[in-house]
Chain A
Amino acid sequence: MQESAYFSSYTPTPNTWDEMFGADAQIRDHYQKVIRYLGNESIEELNKKEDLAKRLFMSQGITFTVYNSGEGIEKIFPFDIIPRIITGDEWAFVEKGIKQRLEVLNLFLKDVYSNQFIIKDGIVPADIIYSCPHFLREMHNVKVPYDIYVHVAGIDLIRDYDGTFYVLEDNLRTPSGVSYMLENREITKRLFPDLLPQCGVRSVTEYPNILYKNLLSLSPRQIPNPTIVLLSPGIYNSAYFEHTTLARLMGVELVEGRDLVVDNHKVYMKTTTGLQQVDVIYRRVDDEFLDPLVFNPSSVLGVAGIMGAYRKGNVAIVNAIGNGVADDKAIYTYVPEMIRYYLNEEPILKNVPTYQLGNPDEAEYVFGNLNKMVVKRTNGSGGYGMLMGHAATQQEMDEYKAEIIKNPRDFIAQPTISLSAAPCYMQGQLTPRRIDLRPYALVGPDGIEIVPGGLTRVALREGSLVVNSSQGGGSKDTWVLI
């Protein structure tokens, strides 16, 4: 198996699914071609490729800014040059599972904002829904086009020690990272000429076209060229690069809240030739900041009166407002039950077992086993405010426990799942690092489409299980084979 010098120190992590190595220390078939290709490259060449990748990210401005002592410092999101590879069969399974899940989550949102059968039938308890800060009464009985609430979803998947896929969380509000899926692929084309077609890697370039087609279909006005805009919080937002990339690839206008104005329940943008009516808004501004008249009154990122225009059906907003109730981590627990309730099917993708700290019995069990648990806030994201039981000190655990007792509904706990590992190129060697997978699903009137690929995030620190970019994570190009 020693096909390349880069393996001399590659020791698969014990009790972990290794994406490249099989149980008998054989390289899995789908990694063979890449490993052979790498075997023909010297360390100098690979280092050069790593440098080229950094330079390309830098010169294209694919950076985020860290503000330090008054001056912005541009940093790139770390990129590992070795692709993460998914077989056609694995992908078919994931795709089917995500479609099932999204269909149900859309049904759930429609139900919870109208008849609430799921509460009346006792499947999801009312208090869990009404105590969720993202459940917005303002959305009750609002008719959204085609009953689609989730148009863009980024469902995070992880793999346990035996390779089983689990859903870690559903991101149904404004999931980000898709520009990295697209850019990582562009970089790989430059780094490894000819390798992509040789390996039979499926293309991801259709993403912006599908998104555009879906946005177009939502226009409330039946006119030849409806105005579609992407609403961004502006250049200081950490995902700003993504907003510009998507706007450019779709050929739509990138607007900020201050560019829009509402008059007589219609949304307009301010142009050099007067006001122009806006039909569809792909917004990357959170619910809370969208309309200062309805939500956070101090928000300057939103547009006053936009909620009124939305309720009247004069403008389509993507994703719908109030989706947070469906990706809340406490409600996540009930998704398998929802699938059985709405579709009468068994869930294809498994949930990670989750304990509600709002439930006294479950809380007692969690407190007794805190060192084996990951505790999260139900409405948190970005890896902030988490307790990793296996790595925490007694003092950290005590402090966190005190926080939980103040407001148990806001927390859930999950047993530590040991994320799968994939080879990363580090200082001239391949070394295993933990990864997850976020495929991007697009829901439109014609159904659910998932481009074959996604964002693979890597925990670059040795032994770390946290892949969030805010916590020292990086990313890899993600290949789905035919």
Chain B
Amino acid sequence: MLSRVASSLYWMSRYIERSDGMLRMLKINYASSQDTIQTFTWEPVIRIFAGLRDDHEIAALGNDSRSVLKYMVLDRENPNSILNIITLARENARGVQELISKDLWQCLNEYYHTVRSPGIAFMLEKDDPITALDTLIKQGMLYYGTLEITMERGEGRGFINIGKFLERGIQSVDILDTKFGSIDDNPNLLTDTSYWKHLLLSLGGYEIYLKTYRQGFEAENVLEQVVLNNDFPRSVIYSVNHIQRYFDRLKHESNMPEFRDLSFLIGRLQSSIKYSSVKSIRQDGLHDYLTNIRSELFKIGDALNQHYFAYS
């Protein structure tokens, strides 16, 4: 497979995964903003997804749900808006059209036209934003289904899946870090059940939590589920296991040294998560623990870029 093609597939997949996570987050947060008597704060969502680190910029966006949604979904100036990342996903797919199935291309193409349609803007600004977000989420699900049914198994799908799980792992780490970070400023949140409930809902882990833990919402249980639960598809360990699984299939005689290099990085990260527990995470400090995982995931991305995608 061409290096350029592998790189495009990987990025297409990362962008779609990012948009999916973001849309679900926006939907749950919007719903929760309708369910509170205090001022709802959008700051964590903006911090996680808009790539804004500067407090002034975040403050400038304010807490008006409609304008935040518009900024996050449709703003052309926001490099991480849904509109911009779907455009990027489609541009990547466009460059590899002969490799992905025709159905998949059409699906992304329709997603792109949907995001840009006046109907979505109208619903976000004036009508029901949930309908708009649901429409977009559904386009993403169509993509996943089409990919599953029509995409040839092999190297290409390997890179698509590595991109997907890398993005997902990074997202889960970011969400946890931000959400637990807020507790330092406001310790009351630690016992606020609706705070944890919304975190789980936005990760699609609410039902699995109810089935696993019977004694209500507790921070430690949430942490355990989102980092260490092997059966929760958005947990950090699940993502890393899948990166490992799809990377193993890329083994090829002609580039063994590069393969070993990356395999080492992935294996090291996998063990460090596998052999940790809520208790040990608490001892190390959650923030440091998550920061380390994030930087290891970034290293894997860099190594892929260097060994598999580079044009040299």
Contacts and interface: CB of A to CB of B under 8 A. Distances in A.
- A and B: interacting chains: yes
Interface of A: 58-61, 71, 230, 234-235, 240, 244, 247-248, 252-256, 258-259, 269-274
Contact of A274 (B109, B255, B311): B255
A270 B76 CA distance: 34
Contacts of B255: 272-274
B106 A273 contact: no
Interface stretch (B28-36, B91-99, B167-175): B91-99
Interface of B is mostly: helix
B91 A61 contact: no
Contact of A258 (B4, B96, B99): B4
B105 interface: yes
A2 B244 CA distance: 72
B277 interface: no
B110 A234 contact: no
B93 to A, nearest CB: 9
8 contacts: A59-B106, A59-B109, A244-B94, A258-B311, A259-B311, A272-B252, A273-B255, A274-B255
B94 A254 contact: no
B75 to A, nearest CB: 14
B91 A271 contact: no
A255 B113 contact: no
A230 B98 CA distance: 11
Contacts of A247: 97-98
A294 B221 CA distance: 67
Interface residues of B, number: 29
Ranked 6 nearest A-B pairs via Cβ: A247-B98, A244-B97, A248-B98, A61-B109, A274-B254, A254-B98
B312 to A, nearest CB: 8
A258 B99 CA distance: 18
Interface centre among B4, B99, B102, B250 (most CB of A within 10 A): B4
A273 B4 contact: no
Interface of A is mostly: mixed
B2 interface: yes
B1 interface: yes
A253 B94 contact: no
B94 A269 contact: no
A207 to B, nearest CB: 16
Contacts of A273: 1, 252, 254-255
B155 interface: yes
B254 A61 contact: no
B106 A270 contact: no
A270 B102 CA distance: 24
Interface string B103-125: 00110011001000000000000
Contact of B113 (A59, A240, A252): A59
A255 to B, nearest CB: 6
Contacts of A235: 91, 94-95
A196 B159 CA distance: 42
Given A59-B113, A60-B109, A271 B97 contact: no
Contact of B94 (A59, A61, A71, A271): A61
Nearest to B76: A71
A345 B204 CA distance: 76
Given A59-B113, A256-B4, A272 B106 contact: no
B308 interface: yes
Contact of A61 (B99, B106, B155, B309): B106
B102 A271 contact: no
Interface string B284-312: 00000000000000000000000011010
Contacts of A230: 98
A3 B98 CA distance: 45
B110 A271 contact: no
Interface of B: 1-6, 76, 91, 94-99, 102, 105-106, 109-110, 113, 155, 159, 250, 252, 254-255, 308-309, 311
Contacts of B6: 272
Given A58-B113, A60-B106, A259-B2, A270 B311 contact: yes
Contact of B1 (A240, A252, A272): A272
Contacts of B105: 60-61
Nearest to A255: B2
B159 to A, nearest CB: 8
Given A59-B109, A60-B106, A269 B2 contact: yes
Contacts of A272: 1-3, 6, 155, 159, 250, 252, 255, 308-309
Given A234-B95, A259-B311, A272-B155, 8 more contacts: A59-B106, A235-B95, A240-B94, A244-B98, A248-B102, A253-B5, A270-B311, A274-B255
Nearest to B116: A74
Nearest to A241: B97
A227 to B, nearest CB: 11
B2 A253 contact: yes
A271 B2 contact: yes
B228 to A, nearest CB: 32
A257 to B, nearest CB: 11
Nearest to B1: A272
Contacts of B106: 59-61
A277 to B, nearest CB: 13
A259 B98 contact: no
Nearest to B252: A273
Nearest to B93: A61
Nearest to B159: A272
Nearest to B91: A235
Contacts of B76: 71
Contacts of A234: 95
Contacts of A244: 94, 97-98
B103 to A, nearest CB: 11
Contacts of B102: 60, 248
Nearest to A60: B106
A82 to B, nearest CB: 26
B200 to A, nearest CB: 36
B160 to A, nearest CB: 13
A254 B97 contact: yes
Nearest to A230: B98
A247 to B, nearest CB: 4
